[in-house]
Amino acid sequence: MIIIKKIYLFFKRESKLFFSNIVDLFSNILFFFLSVFVFIFALGTDEQLLKTIGIGIIWSLLLLSSTLSLRKFYEEDFKIEILPIIHMGGMSYELIVFLKILSHFTFVQIPFLVSLPIVSIFFNLPANEVYNLILTFIIGSLILSCLGSISASMNLLNKTNFSIGSVIVLLFSIPLIIFSVGINNADSDFNTLFNLLIGIALIFLGIAPWSSAACIKLALKNK
Amino acid sequence: MFKFLINPSRFNKFADIILKPLIIITSFTLILGLFLIYFSPLDYQQGLTVKIMYIHVPSAWLALLTYAIMAIYSIIGLSFKIPFSFVVNKAIAPIGAVFTLLCLISGSMWGKPMWGAWWVWDARLTSVAILFIIYLLIIFLNQTFENRDVREKTIAIFILIGSINLPIIKFSVDWWNTLHQPASVSKLSSPSIDISMLQPLLIMTVAFSLIGIIIAILRIKAEILIRKKYL
């Protein structure tokens, strides 16, 4: 029972942190909207063209705008040295990373979900494609959170080369974008690709806690 | 017996013994391989361009093999805390990158006359390109962190995560419908390549791996010297 209370307290702290800095999230979403606008201005407003390439553009811009908030995944907690204190309270680093991924998923990725139907209006997407997009984004954003945790924990002590974290996220998100955009192709089966996406999410949920915890331990040891 | 694979001083001794004979054997094998390539038969469909295969296939195999060695050394280094494995990781990453680049370039030179395009977005080609990017990232990460311990272990973890790509490269021709042909040598049943082409291919593979080993030995020795001097 105690562990449930600890998890509850962890989430309470995360939500307080999140609501104290909610402007950051709004500016991320604003970045997403503006980049969609820029893309449409660059391509021209041909309706048929926008309809065919809409899903791909939305997904790639989602990826880019989700890499914006990655640096603060562990940065603040690492700076004020709260992670060892939580660890001393009886949680392993792996569990902390797992909870952190879940809280990032709920507090940062889910608000993006609200913006998806609005953006798809700009591209005149049909209703079933919007439905597919939202379903794939729920799974895909979980993968994005895992990747973000991996790259943010790798770059905790990195003080020179800032762009490499985003490069790592983009590199490992290639399978995600292949399968999630491929769902909307006419000749592909929805269930197969969706199951593949869930499989990728489970793989990364298995890898991310181990690797992030190892990197965090390294960073704490050599701080 | 295989202590030289994890112990720097033993490695140095072993390298001093083996380096000169290895260079002689390598040059002999390479000359023999080039000779056999010159007299190997032309393909009845592809004509002269089939000879690109003797560069393309060995470099592709060695690109994968180098990554597999790095992954194994990462596991050894992380679990048994053997620093020599990180030396190896740092030394052989550029070798793997060069082999991957060689594979990509020769492949696109082969693809232009055969498929009519320098590059197609095929599963095999894409996954090998991702392997090349992973190699580049490993080389960049080597320049990133100030603390050596953090750098080495972070790179080892990154290598282990990136090794998901290896089975994808190997089985991409079976899982997806690709333009790239499926495996014809490393099949469990008998290889579907003629013996007159298989001979030079295998000899070139041996020559390429020997060249890789020589460069790796030189780089590892240099890396050990640097660490002895500055640490």
pLDDT at position B66: 94
Nearest to A137 by CA among A192, A69, A208, A66: A66
Which chain B residues have a beta carbon less than 8 Å from that of A219? 150
CA-to-CA separations, B125 to B103, B147, B158, in angstroms, rounded: 10, 36, 22
pLDDT at position B231: 65
Chain-centre distance for alpha carbon B134: 13
| Chain A, chain B: beta-carbon pairs less than 8 Å apart | 50
What integer is the mean pLDDT of A21-28? 86
What confidence tier does B21 reach under pLDDT thresholds 50, 70, 90?
Answer: very high
pLDDT tens per residue, range A178-207: 888 888 776 667 888 888 889 999 999 999
Interface probe for B, chosen from A171, A204, A211 (most Cβ of B below 10 Å), is: A171
CA-to-CA separations, A201 to A61, A143, B74, in angstroms, rounded: 20, 5, 24
Collapse the DSSP code of B118 into the 3-class scheme (helix H, G, I; strand E, B; otherwise coil) and give the result: coil
Collapse the DSSP code of A218 into the 3-class scheme (helix H, G, I; strand E, B; otherwise coil) and give the result: helix
Q: Is residue B122 assigned to a domain? A: yes
pLDDT tens per residue, range B102-135: 999 999 999 888 888 888 888 889 899 999 999 9
Q: What's chain A's average pLDDT?
A: 86
- Could you say which of A161, A174, A222 has the minimum Cβ distance to residue B150? A222
Rounded to the nearest angstrom, the minimum Cα separation between B205 and chain A is 30
Q: Is B176 on the interface with A (CB under 8 A)?
A: no
Count up the domains in chain B and report the number. 1
Q: Is B145 on the interface with A (CB under 8 A)?
A: yes
Interface probe for B, chosen from A74, A156, A158, A178 (most Cβ of B below 10 Å), is: A158
Whether the pLDDT of residue A77 is over 90: the answer is no
Residues of A with CB under 8 A from a CB of B: 150, 154, 157-161, 164, 167-168, 171-172, 174, 203, 207, 211, 214-215, 218-219, 221-222
Q: Is residue B165 assigned to a domain? A: yes
CA–CA separation, B37 and B51 (whole Å): 7
Q: Is B149 on the interface with A (CB under 8 A)?
A: yes
Q: Is residue B99 assigned to a domain? A: yes
What range does the domain containing B97 cover? 26-37+48-181+193-230
Domain ranges of chain A: 2-221
CA–CA separation, A168 and B218 (whole Å): 30
Number of continuous H segments (helices) and E segments (strands) in chain B:
7, 0
Instruction: Provide the ipTM.
Output: 0.85
pLDDT tens per residue, range B72-92: 999 999 999 888 999 999 999
Query: What residue in B sits closest to A153 (Cα-Cα)?
Result: B154
What confidence tier does B56 reach under pLDDT thresholds 50, 70, 90?
Answer: very high
Which chain B residues have a beta carbon less than 8 Å from that of A211? 157, 160-161
Q: Is residue B18 assigned to a domain? A: no
Spatial contact of A149 and A73, defined as CB atoms under 8 Å apart: yes
What confidence tier does A159 reach under pLDDT thresholds 50, 70, 90?
Answer: confident
Q: Which of B202 and B42 is assigned the larger pLDDT?
A: B202
What integer is the mean pLDDT of B45-62? 88
CA–CA separation, A151 and A149 (whole Å): 6
Whether the pLDDT of residue A119 is over 60: the answer is yes
State the Cα torsion B126-B132-B135-B140 to the nearest 10°: -110
CB contact under 8 A, A218 and B149: yes
Q: Ramachandran region of residue A73, left (φ > 0), alpha (ψ -120 to 50) or beta?
A: alpha
Q: Is residue B112 assigned to a domain? A: yes
Q: Is residue B188 assigned to a domain? A: no
Q: Is residue B96 assigned to a domain? A: yes
